[in-house]
Amino acid sequence: MTLPLFPLGTVLFPHGRLPLRVFEPRYLDLVRDCLKRDGQFGVVWIREGSEVVKGAETMPRLAQIGSFVRIVDWDALPDGRLGVTIEGVAKFRLLSTEQQPNFLIMGTVEPLPEEEPLPLPERARDLQVLMEQLMRHPLIGRLKLQPETEDGGRLANQLAQLLPIPEANKFALLTETDPEVRVDQLLALLDQISE
């Protein structure tokens, strides 16, 4: 399938949420179109390059795994920009890209299989406590996220989205297909941060 892409310097996980400030005409058009038809687009991590097009700049180098997203909230800002909150829905593999004359990137993508729910392992119960603590933060509260409490894979996705982890590590977590391994990788990263 083909869908419009919104490359970002941030990895987006299924069930994770991100706030965006949209100001480039190509993305304003994309967001307005998605709002009108309740459509989806894709978010892919920029491995190299820029989110903002400057002249006839070459297309950024994109990661090969991304997320289908939907817009869950939006607000027209006084300066003509749009504030939107997006939520990851599912993962896809990016097969090819084509840049349109307005610099919007269209991607041919292959949806990846949905993960089976993972009962939260006992060794990862502290992740629930961490999520509860994060939900008290005002910036995270504005996302209106429904925190996962029982599915370990989804909880790991949401925490990886919210925590200050380097994007390369986040992308490694995103590409992991086994949710139990992702939980263990996240626990290892949290141990490194707390040292």
User: Which residue range forms the structural domain that includes residue 190?
Assistant: 122-194
188 pLDDT above the threshold of 90 = yes
Confidence of residue 9 (pLDDT cuts 50, 70, 90): very high
Mean of pLDDT values over 62-79: 89
User: Are 6 and 77 part of one and the same domain?
Assistant: yes
Q: Which two tokens stand for residue 151?
A: 């599915």
Computed on alpha carbons and rounded to an integer, the radius of gyration of the chain in Å comes to 17
Residue 79: per-residue pLDDT:
76
Kindly list the distances between the CA atom of residue 156 and the CA atoms of 27, 35, 118, 187, in Å, as whole numbers in the listed order. Answer: 29, 29, 11, 9
Residue 57: per-residue pLDDT:
59
User: Are 87 and 138 part of one and the same domain?
Assistant: no
Residue type (1 letter), 47 = R
> What's the rounded Cα separation, in Å, for the pair 60 and 97?
11
59 pLDDT above the threshold of 80 = no
Asked which of 65, 82, 111 is the last residue of a domain, the reply is: 111
SS3 7: strand
User: Are 12 and 97 part of one and the same domain?
Assistant: yes
> What's the rounded Cα separation, in Å, for the pair 4 and 102?
12
Residue 195: per-residue pLDDT:
61
Q: Is residue 143 part of a domain?
A: yes
Mean of pLDDT values over 19-42: 84
Mean of pLDDT values over 131-139: 91
User: Are 33 and 76 part of one and the same domain?
Assistant: yes
Q: Is residue 116 part of a domain?
A: no
More confident residue, 110 or 142: 110
Average per-residue pLDDT for the chain: 88
Residue type (1 letter), 175 = T
Residues above pLDDT 90, as percent of the chain: 59
Q: Which two tokens stand for residue 22?
A: 């949209």
83 pLDDT above the threshold of 90 = no
User: Are 95 and 31 part of one and the same domain?
Assistant: yes
User: Are 50 and 23 part of one and the same domain?
Assistant: yes
